[in-house]
């Protein structure tokens, strides 16, 4: 396979060979775990065994946190300009290795190579933004709040921070986390998704090459025990999580109960609202790409289409577009949809489609039993699927399917569409397609969803803004990246100083001091 060849000739070879074990990264060294418990990682396109991920032992996890704790004072005291220079080197290395990282992602996660490059690129943008860390960490000053008294604030790192990542963006989401955290002067413990560990391992290898000192980034592996360890270890000050609602709410509850700062980006059901005055061709193109791209395994996938009035007549043309999408291995040129992550995920998607049908939805495009090339016969493939006549009480609407399944609902008015979407528990993203500025403005004001696209399907903000999912899709102390990302990884110290140039004593006062 193309990607196998790429990997074997790349530096990744130093971290992982095929069907060898994924290493831990502790204090600047890739080390073999002493665990007896391993998780197999298989290529979702053909079930080839790629690597085994260790369930880190308690000692290994403690060693990773200790390394991060020990590295913190020197890293915090490294000048902000030098930290930024290292992040800038890192940015260049990621750019240079974009194809290799993408090949790793395609092989392990399944998405197409161009989509995998997008995964890396959207993470790289956060690294680029982190190069401006000095400006992002500027405090505030007010001179002479009283005679000879000034107040100023510094933005300072927290200490050891940790990240727990999902399978669907093996590069972007780790890159949302540790580059900004370390740019701010923190040290880090990353626990990648046990289903896609290798992009993270390569990314930390590149960070080391960029000049990140030993101990500043560490990687542990595992699932529930590693997560519990992160939630409980007293040295960890803040936890970034991206993944399912079940895990995110759990980590938020357990982490905050232990006094940690936690940010949890979670599950979604993202609605597209299609008004009949929208540009039909562009809207249907956008909807097709955003519903089925990455086989629907994006937290910002448009997985529910709300057709307002006559726009429902466009559904047959949507089906025609979806039918043309090519389902194959992600490394095969011109593939539109790769496999879903696991046989269990495929089974779950099939079950949810069937439940929709059993509850009265019409399956007008059925991607179960999709035909793929013989070499992918064992892969976890699901073809584009469209369910119409879906109502909000159906399981296929209520659950995040996380597969290439678009559920279509009909309403008569924009007000009804807004009401329907606001009644859904999730608030990650939404998009409205219309030619009316007034309708778009009404939508952006009244919709209770954190990220809104207007004639744009996947409104993931660039890193000078933040990723602002809301309601059931987010819980925590601050959003990822942008200003709020910096706030999450830092604390403010405010200093009130009194420098007098006379020798006059002001005497003892027992009153609450009042400046002025």
Active site (catalytic) residues = 299
Q: Does 463 bind ligand NAD (CB under 6 A)?
A: no
Place of tokens 């990744």: 12
**Window of 123-131, 186-194, 411-419, 442-450 that interacts with ligand NAD by CB under 6 A:** 186-194
DSSP letters spanning 282-309: HHHHHHHHHHHGGGG-STT-EEEEEEEG
Q: Does 220 bind ligand NAD (CB under 6 A)?
A: no
Binding flags for ligand NAD, 236-255, as an x/- string (CB under 6 A): ------xxx-xx--x-----
Place of tokens 């909807």: 287
**Window of 150-158, 199-207, 266-274, 386-394 that interacts with ligand NAD by CB under 6 A:** 266-274
Where would I find the beta strands (DSSP E) of 231-354?
236-242, 261-265, 270-274, 302-308
The CA distances from residue 311 to 181, 366, 388, 411, 433, in Å, are 45, 22, 13, 10, 10
Q: Does 473 bind ligand NAD (CB under 6 A)?
A: yes
Output DSSP code: residue 12.
Answer: G
Q: Which residues contact 401 (CB under 8 A, 6 or more apart)?
A: 296, 303, 349, 352, 407
Are 162 and 177 spatial neighbours (Cβ–Cβ below 8 Å)?
no
**Window of 28-36, 74-82, 110-118, 259-267 that interacts with ligand NAD by CB under 6 A:** 259-267
Q: Closest CB to ligand NAD among 126 and 332?
A: 126
Q: Which has the closest alpha carbon to 331: 98, 40, 104, 52?
A: 104
Binding flags for ligand NAD, 273-312, as an x/- string (CB under 6 A): --------------------------x-------------
Looking at beta carbons, which residue is closest to ligand NAD?
243
Q: Does 194 bind ligand NAD (CB under 6 A)?
A: yes
φ/ψ region of 375 (left if φ > 0, alpha if ψ in -120 to 50, else beta) reads: alpha
Size of residue set near ligand NAD by CB under 6 A: 29
Binding test (CB under 6 A) with ligand NAD, winner from 71, 266, 306, 386: 266
Residues 396-425 that bind ligand NAD (CB under 6 A): 400, 402
Q: Does 223 bind ligand NAD (CB under 6 A)?
A: yes
CA distance 188 to 119: 22
Are 3 and 12 spatial neighbours (Cβ–Cβ below 8 Å)?
no
Binding test (CB under 6 A) with ligand NAD, winner from 131, 164, 181, 315: 164
Binding test (CB under 6 A) with ligand NAD, winner from 90, 167, 314, 443: 167
CA distance 236 to 189: 9
List of residues contacting ligand NAD (CB under 6 A) = 164-169, 191, 193-194, 223-224, 227, 242-244, 246-247, 250, 265-268, 299, 400, 402, 428, 467, 469, 473
């Amino acid at each position: 396979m193309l990607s196998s060849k790429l990997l074997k000739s790349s530096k990744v070879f130093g971290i992982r060979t095929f069907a060898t074990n994924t290493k831990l990264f502790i204090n600047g060294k890739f080390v073999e775990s002493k665990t007896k418990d391993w998780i197999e990682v298989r290529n979702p396109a053909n079930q080839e065994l790629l690597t085994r991920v260790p369930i880190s032992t308690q000692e290994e996890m403690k060693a990773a946190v200790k390394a991060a704790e020990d590295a913190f004072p020197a890293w915090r005291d490294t000048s902000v300009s030098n930290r930024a220079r290292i992040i800038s080197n890192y940015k260049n290395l990621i750019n240079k290795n974009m194809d290799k990282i993408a090949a790793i992602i395609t092989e392990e996660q399944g998405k197409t190579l161009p989509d995998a490059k997008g995964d890396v690129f959207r993470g790289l943008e956060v690294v680029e933004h982190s190069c401006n860390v000095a400006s992002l960490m500027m405090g505030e000053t007010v001179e002479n709040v009283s005679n000879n008294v000034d107040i100023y604030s510094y933005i300072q790192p927290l200490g050891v921070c940790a990240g727990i990542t999902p399978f669907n963006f093996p590069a972007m989401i780790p890159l949302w986390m540790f580059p900004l955290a370390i740019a701010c002067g923190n040290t880090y413990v990353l626990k990648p998704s046990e289903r896609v560990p290798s992009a993270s391992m390569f990314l930390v290898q590149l960070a080391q090459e960029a000049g990140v000192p030993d101990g500043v980034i560490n990687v542990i592996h595992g699932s529930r025990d590693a997560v519990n360890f992160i939630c409980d270890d007293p040295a960890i000050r803040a936890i970034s999580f991206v993944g399912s609602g079940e895990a995110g709410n759990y980590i938020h509850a357990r982490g905050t109960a232990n006094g940690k700062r936690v940010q949890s980006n979670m599950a979604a059901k993202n609605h597209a609202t299609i008004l009949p005055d929208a540009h039909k061709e562009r809207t249907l193109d956008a909807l097709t790409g955003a519903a089925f791209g990455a086989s629907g395994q994006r937290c910002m996938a448009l997985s529910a289409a709300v057709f307002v009035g006559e726009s429902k007549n466009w559904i047959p043309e949507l089906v025609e577009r979806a039918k043309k999408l090519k389902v194959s291995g992600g490394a095969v040129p011109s593939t539109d949809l790769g496999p879903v992550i696991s046989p269990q995920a495929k089974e779950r998607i099939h079950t949810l489609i069937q439940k929709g049908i059993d509850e009265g939805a019409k399956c007008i495009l059925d991607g179960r039993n999709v035909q793929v090339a013989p070499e992918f016969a064992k892969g976890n493939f699901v073809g584009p699927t469209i369910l119409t006549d879906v109502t909000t009480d159906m399981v296929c609407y209520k659950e995040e399917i996380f597969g290439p399944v678009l559920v279509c609902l009909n309403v008569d008015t924009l007000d009804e569409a807004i009401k329907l979407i606001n009644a859904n528990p999730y608030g990650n993203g939404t998009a409205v397609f219309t030619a009316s500025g007034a309708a778009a403005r009404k939508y952006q004001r009244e919709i209770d969803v954190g990220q809104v696209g207007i004639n744009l399907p996947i409104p993931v903000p660039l890193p000078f803004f933040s990723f602002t999912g809301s309601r059931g899709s987010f819980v925590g102390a601050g959003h990822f990246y942008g200003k709020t990302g910096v706030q999450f990884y830092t604390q403010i110290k405010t200093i009130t100083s009194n420098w007098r140039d006379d020798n006059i004593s002001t005497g003892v006062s027992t009153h609450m001091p009042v400046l002025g």
